[in-house]
Structure formats: C-alpha cells, structure tokens
Amino acid sequence: LEYFMIQCLKHKAKERPEKRRGNKVNELRPPHLEQPARLPPIRVEESSFSQDMQWLLERGVQFADVAFYAGDSGKELGWAHAAVLCAVSPYFRQLLLGPKTRERPQSRCICRERDGGPHSLLSTWDGGIIDDMPRSEGHLTGRLTRLVVKDPLLCMCLWETLMFIYRGAWEWEHLQEALEEKLKSSLAVATLMERIRSLIGRERGPRDTPSARAAQLGPQTLVNLFNSPLYSDVIFMVQGSVLPAHRAVLVARCDVMAAMFSGKYAEARSRVVPIHGVSSDTFLSFLEYLYTDSCCPASVLQAMAVLVCAEMYQVKRLQHLCEVCVCAYLQSMPSRELASTGISVVRLLRRAKCHNAEQLYIWLLHFIANNYLIFSHKPDFLELSEEEREQV
C-alpha cells in the first residue's frame, strides 16, 4: 500500500506541470515594466596636481624666491619657491627659516651618511637673505634667498632633484632612472639617492617604488601651507576673515588666479586682496582644494556653494568633484527623508544649469524621474519648464 501511494504521488507530480503549462496559454499575463533608468555617472578628470607643480618649477619663475648657485664656480643653477621646498623638506625648513631672518647667522643643511659622518649639501650665500634685490627679467622684486650647492653630485642633478620634490617626493623609481641617465654610475646614483632621502627626511624603505597610496599622498605635500602664514605673500579678505595664501601655488593651480597675479591687475601689486560674493567658508574650501587636491563639503548646500566658486575661477575638476558630492548626498537619503527634506532638488537643478554644471543638471533630471512620486507632489515641481517635465 505504501509503495502504491508513492507511485501515485510521483505520477501526479509529473502530470501537474503539463496542466499548468496548458492553462498558462489562456491566462492573462501581467504588463512588462521596464527597469528604471540608471542614473548617469559623473565623470571627473584625473588629478593634474603633479603636472601643475611641475609647471610651477619650469615656468613659474616670476614668483621664485630661492636661487641656487654652484659651490665651485658660483654659476646660477636655477630658481625655486621657498614655500614648496619648506613644505616638502624638513632640511629646507631648517635652512631657510629662523627666528630673525635678517640677523641669523649663515646656516647649513647637514645630511648624515650611513657611516655616520655628516655631509654638507647646501649653505646660504654670504649675506643670507636679501630684500628687494634686483632680479633678472621676469622676476618680481622682493625677498630673495641665495643657496650654495656644495655637493658636486647634487649640483649636477639639481634639476632632477627639484622636479622630484615639486611632483610630491614619491616617484622614487622615476628619480632613479633620471639620475642613472645623468650620472652613468651606479655608485654615484646610490650615493645621491641616499642624500636625497636624507634631504626630504625619509628613510630607505624595502621598496621605493610608486604605488597607488604614494600617488594619493603626493598632493598632501602642500597641506602644511594651507591657511598658513609660512612664506605667505598674499592675504585674502573674505567677510572679515583673513586667509593667507601663496601666489606661486595659486598661479600653478588656477588659470584665473594666474591671470590675476601675473597681469596688470590691481591684485598683482597688492598684498591684501578682497574677495566679494563668496562666504569665507566656501572660499576656504576652494583654497583647500588648490593646496590638497581634495574637497569634502559638509552638506549639499556647501557643495553647491563651492561648485559656484569653482565655476567662477574656472577650476573644472573641483566643479566636477562638487557635482559628485551633491549626487552622493542625495542618493544616500532614504525616500522618507527625501520627501520631507527642506532641500529643493528643483532649485538645485536651476543652479546647476545656471552655473554650467551640465553633468549635474542631467543627473538631477534622472533623479527626479526615478523618484517621480515624491517630487511630483511638491510645489516646486511646477517650476520645471515644459521641456524638463516632458523629459521627466
């Protein structure tokens, strides 16, 4: 009896799918609904921080305030910017900074070799720092520090060393290749590499090769200069706040700033520059990007304010980073919060269109369409143009 029951159940189980298939032919099928459109991605350009700093070394001589000379011949080797050197290298800070710049004695930068013996790389010229010294054509008048390169290897490869420092002091492999091409001696390259490590205050690691993490740390080389009076040569007055800055960094990172400080505008001759139409917090965030290549607004409204400032000064990458921040904040809101928030997405759409944030404008249209039931009941939905409502 048990066997007979099991066989009957198996037979019925085989017949059941056929019956279902036969019945489904005449059944009404539910309508096929398309998947909601995916939100378009916001594209952000790759960082140009290293290239900007390289440009500053190659062509930013107008704001250079450090001159290098060969120790044996006295020949001029090149120009650099004290703010950048001090931000990257503790030895340059020791050499260039002091409690009293006019009265301090001649100083030296000492780097220790592996055997413990000191090796003098640099020293200040007799007379140290000179104010308002006549410069060669293209240089602004002002404070000038003259440094003597006493090490012959560093003297031969000063340009490669400065390029390494300006690009963030992390491309060790590229530096070694450049030194090998210049010196043609593995012993000389190893010796100079060790001295450069001492110069920037970095011990030799197991692998001195570029890495993703090291590349990310490259822009952080100027973080000590951000909002710092150290070698500051310009002060921005924003809503009563005093924000110190450095013309060399501003010129390298922002084309509009380069036109302001390099041309025949009043800002080029003034140490104090007033800024209007921007809040102090917004302009400080803008300066933070120029120095650190990163931007972290605290809210949607702050991100939009920085976006407007970036559009004003034509810094496209910062503008796109702010667009990403706005999208991330809105996407992180649950539906209930999105329905009750005081942030008007339609007004964000208007501002994005007004300030040429094309990617954000398109993204917000898709965002409104994907959340149509929420936004269609809001009063500001009627502020959309007829064409925009059709797209939604």
CATH code of residue 94: 3.30.710.10
Output the pTM of the full model.
0.80
Tokens found for residue 192: 């100079």
pLDDT: is 36 or 107 the higher one?
36
Q: What is the pLDDT averaged over residues 201-215?
A: 53
| Residue 330 in domain | no
pLDDT: is 6 or 363 the higher one?
363
pLDDT at 131: 46
| Residue 19 in domain | no
Which residue blocks in 140-254 are alpha helix, DSSP H? 152-156, 158-166, 172-183, 186-199, 212-217, 247-253
| Residue 83 in domain | yes
pLDDT: is 15 or 87 the higher one?
87
**How do residues 154-179 score in pLDDT, each as one tens digit?**
999 999 999 999 998 889 999 999 99
pLDDT at 106: 42
Q: Is the pLDDT of residue 114 over 90?
A: no
In percent, the amount of the chain with pLDDT more than 70 equals 79
pLDDT at 45: 93
| Residue 322 in domain | no
pLDDT: is 2 or 204 the higher one?
2
Q: Is the pLDDT of residue 377 over 70?
A: yes
| Residue 267 in domain | no
Total count of domains within the chain: 1
Strands 66-70, 144-149: pairing kind? parallel
| Residue 100 in domain | yes
pLDDT: is 18 or 147 the higher one?
147
Beta strands in the chain (DSSP E): 66-70, 76-80, 108-112, 118-130, 144-149, 234-238, 241-245, 272-274
Q: Is the pLDDT of residue 308 over 80?
A: yes
For residues 337 and 131, what is the distance between their CA atoms, to the nearest angstrom?
60
Mean pLDDT of the chain: 83
pLDDT at 72: 84
Q: What is the pLDDT averaged over residues 369-380?
A: 89
The string over 194-218, giving b where at least 16 C-beta atoms fall within 10 Å of a residue's C-beta and e elsewhere, is bbbbbbbeeeeeeebeeeeeeeeeb
For residues 85 and 29, what is the distance between their CA atoms, to the nearest angstrom?
73
Do residues 26 and 359 make contact, with C-beta atoms less than 8 angstroms apart? no
**How do residues 322-360 score in pLDDT, each as one tens digit?**
999 999 999 999 988 888 888 899 999 999 999 999 999
Q: What angle do CA 197, 203, 208 make, to 5 degrees?
A: 75
Consecutive H or E run containing 39: none
Do residues 81 and 65 make contact, with C-beta atoms less than 8 angstroms apart? yes
| Residue 302 in domain | no
Q: What is the pLDDT averaged over residues 4-23?
A: 68
Can you give the length of the chain in residues? 392
pLDDT at 256: 94
Do residues 194 and 205 make contact, with C-beta atoms less than 8 angstroms apart? no
Q: What is the pLDDT averaged over residues 274-289?
A: 96
| Residue 347 in domain | no
Q: Is the pLDDT of residue 28 over 80?
A: no
Q: Which of 97-101, 266-270, 277-281 has the largest mean confidence?
A: 277-281
Q: What is the pLDDT averaged over residues 98-124?
A: 52
Q: Is the pLDDT of residue 105 over 50?
A: no
The confidence band for 132, taking pLDDT boundaries of 50, 70 and 90, is very low
Domain encompassing residue 83: 49-202+212-218
Tokens found for residue 205: 């690691």
